[in-house]
Structure 1
Amino acid sequence: MPTPTSPARPATDEEFLADFLPRLTRPAEELDAHPDPAALLEAVADLGRRAVGDPDAFFTQQYLLSRIYGLHTQLPTGPTAETSTVLHAVTRRLEQDTADAEDSWIDPALYDGMPDDPAAFVAWLKGVAREHPVFKHPYYHRFLRNEATPDDLRRFVLQESSVDSRFDDLLAAMQIGTDGVTKMEIAKNFWDEMGNGNPAEVHTVLFDRIIRHFGITDEELSEHLSAEALLGGNLAVLICRYRGLFAEAVGHLAIAEWLAPDRFSQVLHAWQRLDLPPDGITYHKLHIGIDAHHASAWFAHVVKPMADSPEARRAITRGALWRLNSSGRYLDRILNLV
């Protein structure tokens, strides 16, 4: 099984990546001239079939999707296949297989328990989160808080970079097409991420301080993430880039913001226990208070109004469960590696 610091892949998948990845940084027309796009799509579909029970295929699938998403979330320094129609087909296959796999972790009977009343729905959704195994996960409440070494914190920060290092961009993508109170709530979240206009307090800048404190290299950030960390980042991009998954993004973000203050409190405790430089923990300190406020406002001003619709309630719940389930598997994985 591959580890976050040594992402081994089987030879066949290695060969596939070695052939395909260089095409991402060539003109789109070159990829569209692929001699056998049907075989290419079948290779991607085969990854999806194997990813459910094969850790190596799962890693390759999520690594490939992450690299493709990089074309859509980072400014290019040269040619790019971003507009390729073949790449779009590959991406949609990867995305659909990823979504189907996440849905397979959800008990369909859970949807039957959703209350119709919006206020009751909010309370019910929070109850689902409280009863989930990821709530108060031992990785945070036992290991990080009381046992983690500086090297353990370094590994944790590296894996967390899959989402935390670009959360502002996800919010920017999420707000497209919204209006009214919903748009304003996303804007408030985004402006907080922007340090309320102070460049030195932009949250990605603060997170980068932690990266620099631990001497984490760009190569580590791009190559040494676990499959579960890659999945977490990919799910966040997936639900924020498609308007048809906006309600899933609402549920996903609601749970992420709601769980963050308690989790970051454990990170802060570990940082102080280890007597690490105080400026390195500013990011987590800020989010303990900010995310508590964000979660409260998000449930009140976005989740509750949307919950008038049964379709929206189901999609919000779906997104929340994607977050809970994928986070649980991610934390189980890194706890098992210590």
Structure 2
Amino acid sequence: MSTAAHLIDQESGLDAYPVVREISSLLNRSAQDLDASLATGERVALCEAVRELNAQSEIGDSAAFYGQQLLLSRIYGLSTQLPEAPTAEGSVIVQEVLRLLEQATMAAEDAMLEPGALEAAPTEPLAFLSWLKKLAREHRVYKHPYYREFIRDQATAGDLRNYVIQESVVDGRFDDLLAMMQVGTSGAAKMEIAGNFWDEMGNGDPTQVHTHLFNQIFRVFDIPADELERSLTANALLSGNLAVLLCRYRHLYPEAVGFLGMTEWLAPDRFVQVVHAWERLGLPEIGIVYHKLHITIDSKHAAGWFHNVVVPAAVSERMRHAIARGTLWRLNSSARYLDERMPDLAAR
């Protein structure tokens, strides 16, 4: 689907589910004002409309899925971005809507897990780690042709521009995800996450902060901030939403361990293909520093993550199942996200 067709499809989808725009407009009001002004009947109606949005997404309505993930992303923005004016962060009604969206999103990911997949995990920690890696290597997302064929050898500069926009939901804020995730941890796990975070912070050099380096790509392609959200697909929004969801809640910490660990483990091979494409196209060197850096650093991070975060936690059955759950959420959602890009490959 072309970018123009994609945007038209999104607009028509939002017209079908006006609750997305309605709730989005409420997010710019203060929490106190919002909760005081909405009557009980209005709150009930909003929640019923969100339940219907979730129900339609569950049965495969692509417009509902997009609206669901867009609204979830906008609500998460209240707690992941510094505002310039009062917002609805902390609003009771917004929190109720948020939980409805989160629960539906988690249920959808769990529905895609093969029966017995989590229970198949070995009980011995090192064997569990080997099993996790094997799970990834045998998954269809591993060395996906979108990277190995399309990005590497066929992508145009325009394709890379769109790729960077879609990737911004995770790569563009990985430092904040780590900061949220580490709350309440201790020992080797906290030190590993802290070391990872400090690397993301450029080891104290503001010019080497990884989000700063990633944003250089936006400058190469002249991508304005207001283009980012409206260009994101539903599956791209989902990737970012899952990352925030798992990192912000303490009871989902082990899922975040699996989700972020797998993200870092898969990144080096993927980024090799991006660098190859960048150099093939002769694009400005400043824009590829982030990806070149992460080919090496994410290999180190993944190894440390597996042995200092995953293995110590894997002594617990609850933790093993939850880490595997987060791992599979990452593998499955990444596969769907990359699959939706494959028509570009097929067309060429």
Give the TM-score category using the shorter length.
over 0.9
RMSD value, Cα: 1.4
Alignment CA distance shift 1:173-1:43 (3 Å)? same
Correspondent of 2:53 among 10, 31, 47: 47
SS across alignment from 1:78: coil
Q: Partner residue of 1:145?
A: 152
Which deviates further from its counterpart, 21-30 or 78-87?
A: 21-30
- 1:277, distance to aligned residue in structure 2 (A): 1.2
2:256 corresponds to 1:249: yes
What's 1:326 paired with? 333
User: What does residue range 204-215 of structure 1 map to in structure 2 within 5 Å?
Assistant: 204-215=211-222
Gaps of 5+ in 1: none
Contact kept in structure 2, 1:171 and 1:190, CA below 8 Å: yes
Map of 1:293 onto structure 2? 300
* Aligned partner letter, 1:34: L
Output the amino acid matched with 1:193.
E
Match of 2:27 in 1: 24
Pairwise CA distance, 1:8: 2.8
- What is the Cα deviation at residue 186 of structure 1? 0.5
Aligned-pair distance for 1:106? 0.4
TM-score normalised per structure 1 = 0.97
Contact kept, 8 Å, 1:5 with 1:225, in 2: the verdict is no
* Deviation for aligned residue 1:41: 0.9
C-alpha distance in 2, partners of 1:12/1:152? 28
Whether the 8 Å CA contact 1:257–1:292 is kept in 2: the answer is yes
Paired with 2:70 and 2:287, the residues of 1 have a C-alpha distance of: 28
Shift of 1:5: 4.2
Q: 1:207 & 1:74 partners in 2: Cα distance? A: 17
Q: Per-residue deviation at 1:9? A: 3.4
CA distance in 2, matches of 1:235, 1:34: 29
Range 215-224 or range 256-265, more displaced: 215-224
Task: Name the counterpart of 2:89.
Answer: 82
Q: What CA deviation, in whole Å up to 9, does each residue of 1:257-299 have, x standing for no partner? A: 1100000001001111111111210000000000000000100
The corresponding residue for 2:279 is 272
Determine if the alignment matches structure 1 residue 34 to structure 2 residue 38.
yes
Q: Name the aligned partner's letter for residue 10 of structure 1.
A: G
**Aligned-residue offset at 1:113:** 1.8
How far is 1:12 from its partner? Answer: 4.9
Alignment partners' CA distance in 2, 1:309 and 1:9 = 47
C-alpha displacement of 1:39:
1.3
Q: Supply the distance in 2 between the matched residues of 1:282 and 1:107 (Cα, whole angstroms).
A: 39
Q: TM-score, normalised by structure 2?
A: 0.94
Q: Is the 8 A contact 1:8 1:56 kept in 2?
A: no
| Per-residue Cα deviation, 1:14-67 (whole angstroms, up to 9, x for no partner) | 522332211101111232132221111111111111112000000000000000
The structural deviation recorded for 1:93 is: 0.6
Aligned match of 1:233 in 209, 228, 240? 240
CA–CA distance in structure 2, aligned partners of residues 327 and 123 of structure 1: 21
For residues 165-204 of structure 1, the aligned pairs below 5 Å read 165-204=172-211
Which deviates more from structure 2 when the two are superposed, residues 24-33 or residues 300-309? 24-33
Q: How many residues align?
A: 338
Contact 2:14 2:63 in 1 (8 A): no
How far apart are the structure 2 equivalents of 1:18 and 1:117? 49
Matched to 1:23, the amino acid is: L
2:103 aligned to which of 75, 96, 117: 96
C-alpha distance in 1 between matches for 2:216 and 2:13: 35
Alpha-carbon distance between aligned partners in 1 of 2:12 and 2:196, rounded to the nearest angstrom: 38
1:173-195 Cα offsets, whole Å, 9 max, x none, are 00101111111000011001001
1:10 Cα deviation from its structure 2 partner: 3.3
The AA in structure 1 aligned to 2:148 is H
Cα distance in structure 2, aligned partners of 1:138 and 1:319: 23
Structure 1 Cα separation of the partners of residues 300 and 14 of structure 2: 48
Aligned to 2:12, what secondary structure does the other structure show?
coil
- More displaced, 173-182 or 13-22? 13-22
Gaps of 5+ in 2: none
CA contact (8 A) 1:9 1:57 kept: no
SS of match in other structure, 1:282: helix
1:27–1:81 contact (8 Å) kept in structure 2: yes
Q: Which moved more, 1:106-115 or 1:141-150?
A: 106-115
Q: Secondary structure at the match of 2:283?
A: coil
Instruction: Give 1:64-83 correspondences, 5 Å limit.
Output: 64-83=71-90
Partner of 1:308: 315
